[in-house]
Amino acid sequence: MDAQTLGLALAWYLTFIFSTSFHEAAHAFVALKLGDPTAYHGGQVSLNPLPHMRREPFGMILAPIFSFFLFGWTLGWASVPYDPVWADRYPRRAAWMSLAGPAANLILILVAALAIHLGLFLGVFYAPESIRHDDVTLAVADAPAIARALATVVSILFTLNLILMVFNLLPLPPLDGSGALPLLLKGPALRRYQDIMRQPGVSLIGLIIAWNLFKYLFRPIHALALNLLYPGSGYQ
């Protein structure tokens, strides 16, 4: 492995760890504020990745490393504990807890977009003719090495958090979009939905469907996000 590939792998991995910890900490923080301190007592209202790694060592440590060398970008998962009795008693509160994770990813997308536009304003970054996951923006030819590194980091931050947000918002179990559906359901429909979510195997089926849907959904959403980032650019 050459130094450039190693540096890119490290950038993807560290960005994944930070973004996922931020996502899970948002879940835990909102749950705490809405009456469920379970994740708080587990130490997960924190950007410190260690509590999240201890809970999901494969999803937070090994899967991101393997996926980079398989796909060229990181893939993994984490979770926070919650009280199912609280969730059943307060389904709307649990739904807001579910939405907190994707909302955290949206915040990081906006942070990355602001950083990219600051670089454009300063004349350090420019919009490439074609975009890959880790070159949403590029540093100009005479920019210092730190500017090139920053361009890669903010590109990964933008793309990775868009992936995490879009995937998690799919309304399929066990994803956050499924957890948010009680905001739209009431009475018998809500109770039937809660009963279905308790059935064994539902989460596995949901993940299989979500993964197959995602590969078709993400491309147009990614293009839309790029065209919002660079108005009039016409990325496809």
Q: Report the catalytic residues.
A: 24
Tell me the pLDDT tens digit for each residue of 129-177. Answer: 989 889 999 999 999 999 999 999 999 999 999 999 999 999 999 999 9
Domain layout of the chain by residue ranges: 3-229
In which residue are the tokens 């980032």 written? 229
CA dist., res. 188 & res. 22, Å (int): 35
**Is the sign of the CA dihedral 205, 209, 214, 217 positive or negative?**
negative
Note whether 95 and 183 are within 8 A (CB): yes
10-48 tens-digit pLDDT: 999 999 999 999 999 999 999 999 999 999 999 999 999
Q: Which pLDDT tens digit goes with each residue over 61-98?
A: 999 999 998 888 898 999 999 999 999 999 999 999 99
Q: Which amino acid is at 12?
A: W
